[in-house]
Structure 1
């Protein structure tokens, strides 16, 4: 709000951007979940006349677009905020006819504020007409038919939204512009889609070489584009120098998991064999490492996380798909159009299907999903939980040192199971005595000897690292934001205890626990068996020091 920027009043930059708000549109000619954004800012320096004039000049004189290809949109105004007549007048002075200047509402041509209050203002967006016929009388810039491709956006931050909901003029006017590299390259090279540019060509070629099936041309092309986009985005998320985002169930971790799992699903449609994520990740890294060296630096981490998540979902995808197909078939046979929330939750809880994933499958079958019912089922699942204080009272036989150490072992086991099997491997119950632990978890099939060995090795590695076990008190919302496993929040009060074993695991729990994982000595699984439908049981012991 008027404070000077250390770099000056005129700034330029290129930013890596991840946006999944339009994820359902990916597969068309231009929508992407990751893109590089060219930006420049004026902080109290030039404003609309200069910004629009220079935008027009750059597009027509430097990038070579014909002025006849250009259409623009501006803010049409609403109660309390006038129409952006200034921008309209500037575009007209540059030779853009009124027929190609479209005044649109706030949802199309307004930015901000970032929160409920703060700087905001109208924008003007620039579109290139690719020459294809209009889809109808209402076809205009912003239409989904693909005739108009947005190439640049000038945002004019000239208002401050107050807590009362009014808009006051800012003392300092700022400009924030954004131009997508991929779309610009696409338009400059005369490509029909961004996926035909040099940025995607190697990826698309590899996907086609790996494909062994082609359901129909339109579906196959869309699947190829989704896989290419989602793999590229996932590589950049995992390779980010700040790190910290891994496939998971909360926040950015959940976004990443959804991207990878959606890609796996479309790879199946094209008959692509498991293990494809490694090959595609290598291409993305090699294509961008000269610009973003962090991708090369984090190559092993990126590929390791991608392949691990692919393998986790591979284990449950087929079974989950069969379950969905069975339910969808029964619904259609009986003339019903809505998949119950309870079924959607089962697909999430047992097979690791994100809710949006199930909604996409349902939409393809002409079905809706009962979101409210899903939330209700999730809440009921929370209320039935024995986690935290309830687990301590009912799951631990006593408060001895041996039992306490075994309790810590269940946390390490829980984390290891999710690493090997996937996020659906969630605790369903436990019983701990001084001699052994018994741990029930959701999983649709018997674990293989290889999986059991891998789980054992992961737990023992955490023990060998002698990780310090810490406890913090916080709200359940704070715990979730930190990435803690807290599936049964309804059992807790306003403040909860969060136990973390170093950087390995973090759970909301009532305790008690060992002070460090090294106290456990060693971990050995004695038996893995069925507990009930969709629930497996592990019995294990430790060889404490």
Structure 2
């Protein structure tokens, strides 16, 4: 299956079971939300998980685009992306976790053709405050799926206070030969689906109280699932990345880790711009700026003449179309080019400032604060310019966080 087929199969499967599709929102959370970007499928549904009636009913399904800055340092491995899509289902006080897991197992095996012998589950084994999740354990034993009991790894919470509860995760074996060991002991088991049983609320004093309505919240990453079903070794090789992998290497020859970072960050930047964000020194605009500058830093390591003007318009248009965004592709390219020009200018100014006698020795906190407040030079940029010499006596930016 290609990714679009997976989405259709998933949504139709749950619609047949009484779920109504929620139109996926943008990366921007609702007004008043304290987070910068939507980080999961459940994020826009938080008010309904906490008790508000949803206009579409008590069974929901959706496809939500998400952005996680917490995973930036993981980008480049086989499973992490900055912007990705999340498939999700919800029971708002309707069915229980065992039915949710039963449907998930049937969907993977019967709907997607996954070999049941390649599945493994983890279940909350209990702790000081809450006992083991016996319902989930019993379901997996009935289905003949191996189960590993864990503690904190299978307890989900949305921060130090708020809804929480045990979860059960489904893993798929990706190693050569028959499955071995367990998910906690072997990273060849890759998590594909998490089912959270929201049964409790943690109060500010740390105590747990029952939720007035027990909910089920499930989520699985679309690109990760696609790569596994398509037999690809990483998310960067599933079909949604085919245009990027076809068009970028001829423009900019890069090793595989660098290629993944550049592709991820530029693709993510296109999506962020497509949702109406523009580069800025704070907030969402700073996240966008950081993505673009991280990509440029990698591109310029080997050839400072490389530029985003080479990025094909069709590639930008393909990404906007995939994420169902209406922003004009040429306008997105202009935004990227404007940020590139700004970054080049900042680098030149930074080199000039740092060449002054005052800044040739070790830099203290006062120096770094002065460079930021007076000259607009962030700490990480100053560090990069100071640490990597290039021919001609200048410093070349190096990727650093």
TM-score range (shorter-chain normalised) is 0.7 to 0.9
Higher Rg of the two aligned structures: 1
The 5-angstrom pairing of residues 386-401 of structure 1 reads none
Q: State whether structure 2 residue 137 is matched by structure 1 residue 88.
A: yes
- Residue in structure 1 matched with residue 79 of structure 2 by the alignment: 30
Deviation at 1:362, TM superposition (A): 9.8
Q: 1:299 and 1:55, CA in 2 relative to 1: closer, same or farther beyond 3 A?
A: same
Q: 1:290 and 1:259, CA in 2 relative to 1: closer, same or farther beyond 3 A?
A: closer
Deviation at 1:227, TM superposition (A): 0.7
Deviation at 1:278, TM superposition (A): 6.0
Q: State whether structure 2 residue 282 is matched by structure 1 residue 250.
A: yes
Conserved? CA contact 1:278–1:307, under 8 Å: no
- Residue in structure 1 matched with residue 195 of structure 2 by the alignment: 154
Deviation at 1:6, TM superposition (A): 0.8
The 5-angstrom pairing of residues 331-480 of structure 1 reads 340-342=364-366, 345=369, 348=372, 354-355=378-379
Conserved? CA contact 2:195–2:216, under 8 Å: yes
Q: 1:49 and 1:272, CA in 2 relative to 1: closer, same or farther beyond 3 A?
A: farther
- Residue in structure 1 matched with residue 265 of structure 2 by the alignment: 230
Deviation at 1:209, TM superposition (A): 1.0
Aligned with residue 74 of structure 1, among 120, 123, 128: 123
The CA distance in 2 between the partners of 1:208 and 1:58, in whole Å, is 37
The CA distance in 2 between the partners of 1:151 and 1:353, in whole Å, is 41
Give the SS at the match of 2:232.
coil
Q: 1:346 and 1:285, CA in 2 relative to 1: closer, same or farther beyond 3 A?
A: farther
String of CA shifts for 1:114-162, please: whole Å, max 9, x gaps. 5x5332222222221211599xx9x85367x852322111111110122
Q: State whether structure 2 residue 186 is matched by structure 1 residue 141.
A: no
Aligned with residue 221 of structure 2, among 158, 180, 183: 180
The CA distance in 1 between the partners of 2:250 and 2:156, in whole Å, is 42
Q: 1:24 and 1:196, CA in 2 relative to 1: closer, same or farther beyond 3 A?
A: same
Where relative contact order (Cα < 8 A, 6+ residues apart) is larger, the structure is 2
Conserved? CA contact 2:61–2:88, under 8 Å: yes
- Residue in structure 2 matched with residue 312 of structure 1 by the alignment: 342
Q: State whether structure 2 residue 292 is matched by structure 1 residue 260.
A: yes
- Residue in structure 2 matched with residue 4 of structure 1 by the alignment: 53
Q: State whether structure 2 residue 157 is matched by structure 1 residue 112.
A: yes
Specify every segment of 5 or more residues in structure 2 that has no aligned partner in the other structure, as ranges. Answer: 1-49, 395-401
Q: State whether structure 2 residue 171 is matched by structure 1 residue 127.
A: yes
Give the SS at the match of 2:311.
helix
- Residue in structure 2 matched with residue 388 of structure 1 by the alignment: none
Count of aligned positions? 337
Q: State whether structure 2 residue 94 is matched by structure 1 residue 59.
A: no
Q: Which piece of structure 1 moves more, 228-237 or 270-279? A: 270-279
- Residue in structure 2 matched with residue 45 of structure 1 by the alignment: 94
Q: State whether structure 2 residue 242 is matched by structure 1 residue 207.
A: no
- Residue in structure 1 matched with residue 22 of structure 2 by the alignment: none
Give the SS at the match of 2:205.
coil
Normalised by the length of structure 1, the TM-score is 0.55
Conserved? CA contact 1:313–1:352, under 8 Å: no
Conserved? CA contact 1:111–1:121, under 8 Å: yes
String of CA shifts for 1:350-386, please: whole Å, max 9, x gaps. 7766546678899999xxxxxxxxxxxxxxxxxxxxx
Give the SS at the match of 1:22.
helix
Q: 1:354 and 1:91, CA in 2 relative to 1: closer, same or farther beyond 3 A?
A: farther
Aligned with residue 321 of structure 2, among 272, 289, 304: 289
Specify every segment of 5 or more residues in structure 1 that has no aligned partner in the other structure, as ranges. Answer: 215-219, 332-338, 366-443, 445-545
- Residue in structure 2 matched with residue 511 of structure 1 by the alignment: none
Conserved? CA contact 1:72–1:127, under 8 Å: yes
Normalised by the length of structure 2, the TM-score is 0.73
String of CA shifts for 1:269-309, please: whole Å, max 9, x gaps. 34374432661564032244165141xx3324322221111
Q: 1:302 and 1:66, CA in 2 relative to 1: closer, same or farther beyond 3 A?
A: same
The CA distance in 1 between the partners of 2:210 and 2:259, in whole Å, is 47
Q: State whether structure 2 residue 253 is matched by structure 1 residue 221.
A: no
CA RMSD of aligned residues (A): 3.6
The CA distance in 2 between the partners of 1:352 and 1:133, in whole Å, is 54
String of CA shifts for 1:207-243, please: whole Å, max 9, x gaps. 211225x5xxxxx211110010011111111111xx2
